[in-house]
Amino acid sequence: HLVARGSCLGFVMVEAGKGVTPKQGATDCGCVAGLKSTVSPKTARPASGTGKDKSPPTDSKVLHGIKWPALVRSEAQLAAYRALPCRADDVFVATYPKCGIHEVHKLCQLILKVETLMFPAEFNKWEEGPVWTGKGAGKGDLPHADIPAPRIVATHVPVDFLPSEIAKLGCRVVYVVREPKDVLVSYYHDSQANPFIETPPSLEAFAEAFIAGASLDVEASTKGGAYLGGYATHVLQYVKAARAGGRMYLMSYDRLLENPHTEIAGLAKFLGVDLDAEGLEAVRSQGSFASMQALPTKEEEDEIGSGAFVNLKDEGSPQIQWGKGERGYGEKTLGAEQARRADEAFGAAFASISDVFAMVPAQDNAGRGWFSCSLRIPGPIPCCAGRDASLK
């Protein structure tokens, strides 16, 4: 069985105990340097057509004009997710891939004191019914309706593909953004290790596809190779929905790293919880990136019966491969011209929402680049103020 313990700070699922070998070139090109793992970067797939190929799918699909990771298989799957029954107290944590979904999801768990689902919801086989495949007792299916409240659901879908009942019932949505160059490099590293993402031939090729996602034309972004309509459109559509009255809380992963107490307090207020100083520090400590890396292994989870992560049938066995989860890694990794082009492209795309990415000045940024944290925050950002009300 494959138990998906997802992290947009970096995760990989690989077949264990089956002679897994690194993907050709993955270990000598530096693409996984600095990642913490005890397993090889990517599964070696057996020849197709043998009837015994149970390794994860890697081929992306274009559905509704958008490029999706391999676990999104059909329009029927997306339609079934869109029709997923919701409750008013459901919480959805949404991000573009590699923007901190794992950590923010964990913060929501700690604040609300629940243990609930992490696996990106759109990957589940909803077309087979409103159940989490292989999630129940004895690895059977778990009805979505049986998950105790409040359910905290992680997702990467563009805002138009969220379950439609979210707006009707007023479910809370937490949306997280991250500095684009850091997203780019983290996503590239993940593509080298994650068997559900096509592997690009080089960082340069992946950067071209990601920067194509700065276009506000979804068709152009998709033709350029960007996932999910491109990072720019993904962010802008969520911000537009929030400012049009959606019950959404916009977070910056970069601000969370720089000023965790303030950001966690705002998130808690949005979730309807007032944390005292002791509670705030407990959430910060247990929800830190270092704490995420120290979480139990799958084998330990089986022993302690955590049951927090989704299981897919007959598709291997997982381990985790972590990225760095730090700010500034993208600029350090990209060439100067790539970094300049990314800043220029996304700076133009996000010019109207610069407050969403704004940071308190940092001593080490020297004012470099549009996303270099040189923008000053003049008090709480309206769309990120942690209000439990419609945002306009």
Q: Which of 220, 99, 75 is nearest to 161 (CA)?
A: 75
Higher pLDDT, 147 or 55: 147
Greater confidence (41 vs 232) lies with 232
Q: List the beta strands (DSSP E) in 168-208.
A: 172-177
Angle between helices 231-243 and 336-349 (to 10 degrees): 30
DSSP run (H or E) holding 306: none
375: alpha, beta or left, given left = phi > 0 and alpha = psi -120 to 50?
Answer: beta
Q: How far apart are CA 240 and CA 264, in angstroms?
A: 23
Is the Cβ–Cβ distance between 8 and 319 less than 8 Å?
A: no
Kindly state the tokens that stand for 246.
């959606």
What is the mean predicted confidence (pLDDT) over 283-303? Answer: 61
Tokens of 281: 């520090």
pLDDT of residue 40 exceeding 80, the answer is no
Q: What is the pLDDT of residues 14-30, one digit of tens each?
A: 223 333 333 333 322 22
* Top-ranked range on mean pLDDT: pick from 105-114, 139-148, 190-199: 105-114
Query: Which residues fall within 8 angstroms of residue 49, CB to CB, at 6 or more apart?
Result: none
Q: How confident is the model at residue 286 (pLDDT cuts 50, 70, 90)?
A: confident
298-312: pLDDT as tens digits: 444 443 333 333 333
Cα gap 289→38, rounded to integer Å = 18
Amino acid at 19: G
* pLDDT one-digit tens code per residue, 334-367: 999 999 999 999 999 999 998 898 864 333 333 3
Sign of CA dihedral 381, 383, 387, 389: positive
Q: Is-contact 103 325, C-beta < 8 A?
A: yes
pLDDT digits (tens, 9 = 90+) for 63-76: 999 999 989 999 99
Residue 317 has pLDDT above 50, yes or no: no
Under a CB-based contact definition with an 8 Å cutoff, are residues 230 and 213 in contact? yes
Query: Which pair of structure tokens corresponds to residue 218?
Result: 């979804």
For CA atoms 255, 250, 156, 346, the dihedral sign is negative
pLDDT tier, 287 (very low <50, low <70, confident <90, very high otherwise): confident
pLDDT at 178 > cutoff 60: yes
- Position 133 scores a pLDDT of 81
pTM for the full predicted model: 0.75
Residue-wise pLDDT tens digits, 368-385: 333 433 222 223 333 333
- Spatial distance between the Cα atoms of 96 and 324, rounded to a whole number of angstroms: 17
